[in-house]
Chain A
Amino acid sequence: MVSSPTSRLLTRVIIYGFLFVLAVVFLYPVVLMVLTAFKPTPEIFRSPFGLPESWSLDTFATVWQRAKFGLYLRNSLLITGGSALLLLVTAAPAAYALARYTFKLKPVLFLFFLAGIMIPIRLGILPLYLLMRDLGLLDTPFSLIFTYAASGLPMSVFLLSVFFRNLPRELEDAARIDGCNELQIFYRIMLPLVRPGLATVVIVNVVPWWNDFFFPLLFIQSDTWKTIPLGMQIFFGQHLVNWSLVFSGMVLASLPLLIIYLIMSRQFIAGLTAGAVKG
């Protein structure tokens, strides 16, 4: 292909221009959301695009108190953290067993987990709701923790079993000669070696859990255990005319993940795509 320096420069300019326009489409609404959050409602309507006249944090403080944001933040942290813990504790040993042992039931179990990858747990919501009610778990964080961990298990078992399968057999044999039993081999030798896999599993699952709105909407009634998305949805609905409060609330609700994303966007992106590509 023949291309003169000028035409190559032109291509570059067009590509950069296109990507820049696209970046504006994705980024500007978020920037606008943050800027607007600092403005009182009359100023939002008067100058929708200008910088805020003052950078006061008053509305954020109002939202924090009136929307019980601190409580929702604690609930979201506990529920997401608890789900991640339960997921790792259940998925890692199962993945290990499926990856490194052969036993009669293995193909059956593999299929059992495989079936769950493609079917969203939401379609079982009615029996799940009644199960939670009968177990007395409605309106408790455990209803969400069990649901999230269960729905994350199939994909996580498969992802982790890929990581476990790639570990050398010699490690296991050496540990066995040193007198480790099967549990010790798993816990002391193999588990620490798949830390990147564990991190991937956590990243892949935590974002949708943190942002989930569907299950809290159905499982949580009282304020005590509402998560950020549910609490904010109700708060926004009540204050829809007060744009200042809604925008501050949106920024507060997005801040935890935004901060993590800005600090470690590379690990974030690597984790998510690894999950998708290997899955």
Chain B
Amino acid sequence: MRDAPAGIPSQRRPLARWWSRHWHLFVFLTPAVVVYGMFMAYPLLSSLSYSVYEWDGFLRRGFTGLSNFVTVLTRWPYNERFWGALTHNTWFFVLTFAIQTTLGLFVAVLLAKKWRGFAFFQAAYFLPYTLSLVVVGFLWLMLLNPTWGMIAQGLRGLGLGEWVQPWLGQRATALTTVILVNAWGWLGFPMLVYLAAVQAIPQEFHEAAFVDGATPWQDFRFVTFPLLLPSIAMVTILTFIWNFNAFELVFVMQGASGSPNYATDLLATFFYRTAFGDPTTGGEPGQIGIASAIGVMMLLIIGFVSAFGVRFMQRSQTEY
């Protein structure tokens, strides 16, 4: 803090003096601390404590230690659902990551050339990102309908009728189809971030590389890519966080229990069913303790991976 102006008499009580120098900080900070503390920090912290109690509906009973966690990890059907959902979330992230760091990155590098018409392409790729996942889900539910959907009709029109499958209805294809639908609505975002990052690289770097005889691939591999690493790391962390929270698309397209037969069940849908009851099985009551244990494990996974990712991002940062 700044020193008090010389005119203020020093014999004033210290508390009053302290207050007169600091009151504006309270005015500035209190609203944010209250709103954030009450509606975000407090719920997140107390969700940790929810998981070590026994619950009767929304009433808290006795302390049970880690028994809710033991239930989730060892007792059927929770254990089967949990490992299933964890596997599905992992595949969700891996496939999304693979698409956005190959196709997304490649398109961003192309778009950075700023040729005529590229603004249109950029706007087109980003457009689905503005749609609500509810709309994305229902739109593709319709398009992928094996009887009346546009994709089935189109394939039949091309004489490829035998390619038509109930993509969302069979175990082998349902999850991957949902992930690809999600990628359709999401890819515009990583593309744009990568594009902004590519454009932020000074042109002289590329010129220097070409003067040294680099091929376009070498220019990408040794100039563009290393400078993009922080952006790639950041987008990957965000993707991981969102993919391990994914809920809407599966809820809308496959229902709360991830049909067919839990093939598209995710941690968030599993958590939702456990916490608020399963509407598809006739309304089994919610189990707050067990749901909280699932939530805490999601929190730990996300916390660890993103902390690790942030460290990687900081190390890959290059000043220029």
State whether these chains interact. Answer: yes
- Chain A positions within 8 Å of B, measured between CB atoms, are 1, 12, 15-16, 18-20, 22-23, 25-27, 29-30, 32-33, 44-45, 48-49, 86, 89-91, 93-94, 96-98, 101-103, 109, 112-113, 115-116, 118-128, 130-131, 133, 146-147, 149-151, 153-154, 157, 181-183, 186, 207, 210-211, 213-214, 218, 228-229, 232-233, 236, 243, 246-247, 250, 253-254, 257-258, 261, 265, 269, 272-274, 276-277, 279
Tell me, yes or no, whether B143 is within 8 Å of chain A by CB: yes
Query: Distance (Å) between the CB of A206 and the closest chain B CB?
Result: 11
Across the interface, do A243 and B36 meet the contact criterion of CB distance under 8 Å?
no
| Given A118-B310, A154-B36, CB of A94 within 8 Å of CB of B291 | no
Q: List chain B residues, Cβ under 8 A from A102.
A: 1
Which single residue of chain A is at the shortest CB-CB distance from B298?
Answer: A123
Known: A19-B107, A22-B107, A214-B247. A233 touches B41 (CB 8 A): no
Is the Cβ of B306 less than 8 Å from the Cβ of A118? yes
Q: On chain B, which size bracket covers the interface?
A: 35 or more
Residue contact A124 to B184, C-beta cutoff 8 Å: no
Residues of B within 8 A of A151 (CB): 39-40
How many angstroms from the CA of A48 to the CA of B213 in the assembled complex?
53
Q: Which of A44, A49, A257, A279 contacts B154 (CB 8 A)?
A: A49
Contacts A/B (CB < 8 Å), 19 sampled: A19-B118, A22-B125, A23-B125, A29-B140, A48-B150, A94-B31, A112-B36, A115-B41, A124-B40, A125-B275, A126-B275, A126-B291, A153-B32, A157-B32, A207-B129, A213-B132, A228-B132, A232-B132, A233-B252
A213 with B133: CB separation less than 8 A: yes
Q: Is B130 in contact with A243, judged by CB distance below 8 angstroms?
A: no
Q: Does B78 have its Cβ within 8 Å of any Cβ on chain A?
A: no
Stretch at the interface among B159-167, B170-178, B231-239: B231-239
Q: How far is the CA of A18 from the CA of B115 in the complex (A)?
A: 14
Residues in A with CB closer than 8 Å to B110 are 15, 18-19
Q: Is B135 at the interface (CB under 8 A from chain A)?
A: yes
B184 and A26 contacting across the interface, CB-CB below 8 Å: yes
8 new A-B contacts, CB < 8 A, other than A93-B32, A236-B138, are A16-B115, A25-B184, A91-B32, A118-B310, A124-B44, A128-B39, A214-B248, A229-B132
Q: A94-B29, A101-B25, A119-B302 are in contact. Are A269 and B43 (CB under 8 A)?
A: no
Cα(A276)–Cα(B125), bound, Å: 17
A1 to B210, CA, bound (A): 8
Could you tell me the distance between the alpha carbons of A273 and B215 in the complex, rounded to whole angstroms?
A: 29
> Across the interface, which residues of A come within 8 angstroms of B184, CB to CB?
25-26, 29
| Chain B: minimal CB distance from A155 (Å) | 11
Q: Do A254 and B29 have beta carbons less than 8 Å apart?
A: no
Stretch among B9-17, B63-71, B79-87, B188-196 lining the A interface:
B188-196
A1-B210, A123-B47, A258-B130 given; A149·B35 CB < 8 A = yes
A210 vs B131: C-alpha distance in the bound complex, in angstroms? 10
Most interface-central of B36, B139, B252, B288 (chain A CB within 10 A): B36
- Cβ–Cβ < 8 Å partners of B291 in chain A: 126
Please indicate which of the listed interface residues B40, B118, B192 has the most CB atoms of chain A within 10 Å of its own CB. Answer: B40
Contact between A243 and B189 (Cβ–Cβ < 8 Å)? no
Q: Nearest residue in A to B218 (C-beta to C-beta)?
A: A1
Distance of A265 Cα from B43 Cα, bound (Å): 36
Q: Are B36 and A273 in contact (CB under 8 A)?
A: no
Are A94 and B189 in contact (CB-based, < 8 A)? no
Contacts of A186 on B, CB cut-off 8 Å? 28
